[in-house]
């Protein structure tokens, strides 16, 4: 009998492992498909990077040479295959004396900035990650706290006050709230010197500099998200508190405080985790507007520059694929975390 029980437990573990590995496999397939899609789209766009990088005195020979150098003289699937290959094996651009090597993982070579894209990403990523993490923590703390409070005191003045915050927060787009913060607080009170905007302070060597240079961008991003999360938390908490199992908890004699913290919040916040994970991943792809306003050289700005200035295909392909990868990975992480949180989906 015990052996049967044991093997049942084991098969449950196996089922979980199978589930996880299947999810990872699916995620990889999705990523490959996304990168292919990106290549197809860019292949059919009415731009010719070879022409654009040609300069004033352009001849068909130079264009053809550029095209070969940029690796654009082959079909999109060959380009795509080389791109995938480069990620794992590194890649060489040009020939002879002009040969440039980008080590793995190589995402391409930007001929406008004369840098391997991986190097550019390496510079931009810490900025974007700093921005995303801080904003994420800020909006989650602010939104969930306000949401729980306004659910607890619903239909009182506290709730109404938070509704006002929600309305203001959601209706102010970041390019307004960010600019307002920058002009009327940051620059007016000289909290960050205009010359210092966008300077990178490493959180490891200069944590205070890092914090103070990111605080206002965090705030301007967090406001809009926090407003949505307040509303979402509030309605989830209210909905959960009318569940039968909450009535059961009260019937057992559980105190109101524990009813809220132990019985209501866990199921009420579980769905918020899903959305939070995806929102965070979205931000990791680059917060274009906020980065632009606060002059932060992150992924969003890198992408924007690549699009606006030179149609820098390798950068655009890399940042787009990276942003998609973040979302796919976040999806996976959120699903696995959800399984830990909710026993009902542990075995599926």
Partner 1 sequence: MSNLLDVKGLNVTFPTVDGEVRASVDLNFELNRGETLAIVGESGSGKSVSSLAIMGLHNRAQTLISGEVILHGSKGSTELISASEETVRGLRGKEMAMIFQDPMSSLHPYYSIGAQISEAWAIHNDGSKRDGMKRAIQMLDLVEIPSAAKRAHEFPHQFSGGMRQRAMIAMALVNNPSLLIADEPTTALDVTVQAQVLQLLQNMQKEFNMGVILITHDLGVVAEFADRVNVMYAGKIVETAGVEDLYYRSMHPYTIGLLRSIPRVDQIDNHRLDAIKGAPPSLINLPIACSFAPRCEYSSLVPGGLCNQSQPELEQKEAEHFARCFLPAERIAEVRS
Q: Distance (Å, rounded) from C-alpha 310 to C-alpha 35?
A: 21
User: Which residue among 26, 248, 261, 309 contacts partner 1 (CB under 8 A)?
Assistant: 248
DSSP string across 47-72: --HHHHTS-SS--HHHHHHHHHHHT-
257 binds partner 1 (CB under 8 A): no
252 binds partner 1 (CB under 8 A): yes
Nearer to partner 1 (CB atom), residue 67 or residue 263: 263
Task: Give the binding range for partner 1 (CB under 8 A) out of 14-22, 59-67, 259-267, 273-281.
Answer: 259-267
90 binds partner 1 (CB under 8 A): no
User: Which residue among 6, 11, 75, 255 contacts partner 1 (CB under 8 A)?
Assistant: 255
User: Which residue among 186, 249, 283, 334 contacts partner 1 (CB under 8 A)?
Assistant: 249
# of chain residues touching partner 1 (CB under 8 A): 20
Give min distance, CB of 69 to partner 1, in A: 59
Q: Distance (Å, rounded) from C-alpha 6 to C-alpha 37?
A: 47
Count of beta carbons in the 10 Å neighbourhood of residue 107:
24
Q: Distance (Å, rounded) from C-alpha 149 to C-alpha 6?
A: 45
Residues in the chain: 348
271 binds partner 1 (CB under 8 A): no
Task: Give the binding range for partner 1 (CB under 8 A) out of 44-52, 145-153, 220-228, 240-248.
Answer: 240-248
In terms of Cα–Cα distance, which of 283, 313, 297 is closest to 220?
Answer: 283
Instruction: Please enumerate, as own/partner, the contacts of 98-107 that have beta carbons within 8 Å and a separation of 24 or more.
Output: 107/83, 107/314, 107/317, 107/318, 107/321, 107/322
Question: What does each C-alpha distance from 135 to 132, 147, 222 come to in angstroms?
Answer: 5, 17, 5
Task: Give the binding range for partner 1 (CB under 8 A) out of 74-82, 133-141, 188-196, 244-252.
Answer: 244-252
Cβ atoms 216, 182 nearer than 8 A: yes
Nearer to partner 1 (CB atom), residue 1 or residue 98: 1
Question: What does each C-alpha distance from 117 to 33, 95, 114, 175, 328 come to in angstroms?
Answer: 21, 19, 9, 28, 21
Give 287's contacts (C-beta < 8 A, 6+ positions apart): 128, 131, 132, 135, 174, 221, 298, 300
User: Which residue among 243, 273, 310, 338 contacts partner 1 (CB under 8 A)?
Assistant: 243
Nearer to partner 1 (CB atom), residue 48 or residue 335: 335
237 binds partner 1 (CB under 8 A): no
User: Which residue among 69, 231, 234, 263 contacts partner 1 (CB under 8 A)?
Assistant: 263
Cβ atoms 316, 306 nearer than 8 A: yes
Give min distance, CB of 254 to partner 1, in A: 6
301 binds partner 1 (CB under 8 A): no
46 binds partner 1 (CB under 8 A): no
266 binds partner 1 (CB under 8 A): yes
Work out the angle at residue 174's Cα, subtended by the Cα atoms of residues 168 and 178, and round it to the nearest 5 degrees.
Answer: 100
User: Which residue among 172, 254, 273, 329 contacts partner 1 (CB under 8 A)?
Assistant: 254
By CB under 8 A, name the binding residues for partner 1.
5, 243-245, 247-255, 263, 266-267, 341-344
């Amino acid at each position: 009998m015990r052996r049967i029980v044991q093997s049942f437990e084991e098969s449950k573990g196996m089922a979980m492992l199978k589930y996880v590995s299947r999810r990872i496999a699916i995620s990889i397939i999705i990523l490959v498909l996304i990168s292919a899609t990106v290549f197809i789209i860019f292949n059919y766009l009415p731009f010719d990077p070879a022409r654009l990088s040609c300069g004033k005195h352009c001849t068909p020979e130079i264009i053809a040479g550029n095209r070969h150098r940029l690796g654009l003289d082959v079909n999109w699937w060959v380009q795509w295959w080389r791109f995938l290959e480069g990620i794992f094996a590194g890649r060489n651009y040009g020939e002879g004396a002009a040969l440039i090597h980008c080590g793995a993982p190589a995402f391409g070579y930007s001929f406008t900035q004369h840098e391997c894209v991986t190097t550019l990403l390496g510079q931009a990523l810490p900025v974007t990650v700093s921005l995303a993490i801080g904003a994420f923590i800020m909006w989650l703390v602010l939104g969930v706290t306000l949401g729980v409070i306004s659910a607890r005191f619903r239909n009182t003045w506290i709730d109404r006050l938070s509704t006002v915050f929600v309305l203001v927060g959601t209706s102010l787009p970041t390019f307004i709230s960010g600019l307002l913060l920058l002009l009327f607080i940051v620059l007016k009170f000289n909290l960050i010197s205009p010359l210092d905007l966008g300077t990178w302070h490493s959180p490891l060597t200069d944590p205070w500099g890092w914090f103070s240079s990111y605080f206002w961008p965090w705030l301007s991003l967090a406001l809009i998200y926090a407003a949505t999360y307040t509303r979402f938390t509030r309605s989830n908490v209210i909905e959960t508190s009318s569940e039968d199992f909450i009535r059961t908890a009260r019937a057992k004699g559980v105190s109101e405080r524990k009813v809220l913290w132990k019985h209501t919040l866990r199921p009420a916040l579980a769905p918020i985790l899903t959305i939070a994970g995806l929102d965070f991943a979205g931000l990791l792809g680059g917060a274009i507007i906020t980065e632009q306003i606060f002059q932060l050289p992150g992924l969003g700005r890198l992408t924007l520059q690549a699009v606006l200035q030179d149609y820098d295909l390798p950068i655009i392909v890399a940042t787009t694929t990276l942003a998609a990868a973040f979302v796919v990975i976040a999806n996976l992480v959120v699903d696995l975390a959800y399984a830990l949180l909710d026993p009902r989906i542990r075995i599926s």
